Each structure stands twice: as structure tokens, then as C-alpha cells.
Amino acid sequence: MIVHSPLKVVLASRNVGKLREFAELLPDIQVVPWPADAPELPETGAFFQDNALQKAEGARAWWLAHGTEPVDGVLADDSGLCVDALWGGPGVLSARFAPDLPAYRDKIRRLLAMLPEGAVRTARFVCVLAYAPLQAPPFTISGSVEGSLALEPRGESGFGYDPIFLPEGHDHTFGELPAETKHSLSHRARACQALWRRLLGEGM
């Protein structure tokens, strides 16, 4: 049952880059940020899907007990950069890669330094969304974008590993491309489009 129009959804994440992108990618959904006093949500799975479900279900349980406003459901995103020459890494560990280096420009330098000389530079961003309605079983939906790694970080837009990701067919990184271009082809944009179609199909 839909409680609100527009749909009102808690985003189970404190990542400000993700929060901004969801607000832009899902303009017909009212996105409520994960409260500052709410607990960190564990993500201990081996796969994006496990972690997305774990975060959505953990956030829903917390919200049912402590939520300060009525919402329709909880949305969680587990995403990351999968580099072929690193056997798909950092993948699910993208946020936790190089924990001794908090700044992304340093994580990026380490990641680039890990590539063997002459390695194939192909990579992809993957996003798995888990949506947990307050009173119905959760489901997951995913999106990905193929690309390759730039030789050096370029551009200041976006967040995380955007400055080294060259989406297929583009000579500029996500860090250089305008947000509208990223939103027309990104892993998160594709997952959000699929989520929206699914919600509409379910008689939202």
C-alpha cells in the first residue's frame, strides 16, 4: 500500500554522493536521509546483492522501531568499481579499500599503482538496489556501466572513483563529464530506471 504521494523512501546510506545522485535520479520520490543518530548499517556479505539486502532490512527494522516520520519503504544501494585486472576488485570492498588512506585521491593512486604494467584497463561500475517496503518482502534490482581506467585521475565532479572511470564511448572520466551525462548512462541511473519501472508496474 502506498502511504504517500509522492512515494517517500528512507535512503539507508550516509554517503552524500549517493544521496545527491538519488535525489537527482528519482525526482518523483521523496528521499529521506539516514538520520545522524541512527546506527551504522553492517555490510558483511560477499556480494553486492547480499549487502544491499542486509542494509535495507537492517534499516527497515530500525525505522519500524525508531523512525520519526511515516515512510513507504527503505532503499539501500550497494555499489562499487570492479577492475578486471584486479580480479573484479575492489568490488564490494570499494568503500573500504585502502582504509589507511581516507581521501579518495589517495585510494585512487594506490589502486592505479596496483595495476600490473601493460594490464588490460577494463572495468565496470555495478549498483545493486534493495527496496524494502515497510510491510512487504524486499526485492533487488541492478545496473552496471562498462568502461576503463584512465591513466591519471581527471575532473572534480561526482564522488569516489569517478575521476578515473572512462565510460565506454567517452574520452572523459565521470569526474569530468557533467552530471547529466553520468546520469544518462551510470550504473546507478540504470538501476534507478529499473526500480522506477518496477514500482510503477506494481501499481504505485
- Which one, of 144, 124, 138, lies nearest residue 55 by Cα? 138
The residue from 22, 63, 125, 131 that contacts ligand IMP (CB under 6 A) is 125
CB of 21 to ligand IMP, least distance (A): 7
The residue from 158, 164, 176, 192 that contacts ligand IMP (CB under 6 A) is 158
Regarding 163 and contact with ligand IMP (CB under 6 A), the answer is: no
Q: State the amino acid at position 186 in one-letter form.
A: S
Q: Is 78 a catalytic residue?
A: yes
Residue 62 cell numbers, joined? 530500525
Q: Which of residues 183-202 bind ligand IMP (CB under 6 A)?
A: 186, 188
- β-partners of residue 122 are 148
The residue from 54, 94, 140, 144 that contacts ligand IMP (CB under 6 A) is 94
Regarding 162 and contact with ligand IMP (CB under 6 A), the answer is: yes
Q: Are 156 and 174 in contact (CB under 8 A)?
A: no
- Quote the CA–CA distance of 87 and 70 in Å, as a whole number: 43
Q: Is 161 exposed, middle or buried (0-12, 13-18, 19+ CB in 10 A)?
A: buried
Give the binding site for ligand IMP (CB under 6 A): 15, 43, 77-81, 94-95, 125, 158-162, 186, 188
Residues involved in catalysis = 78
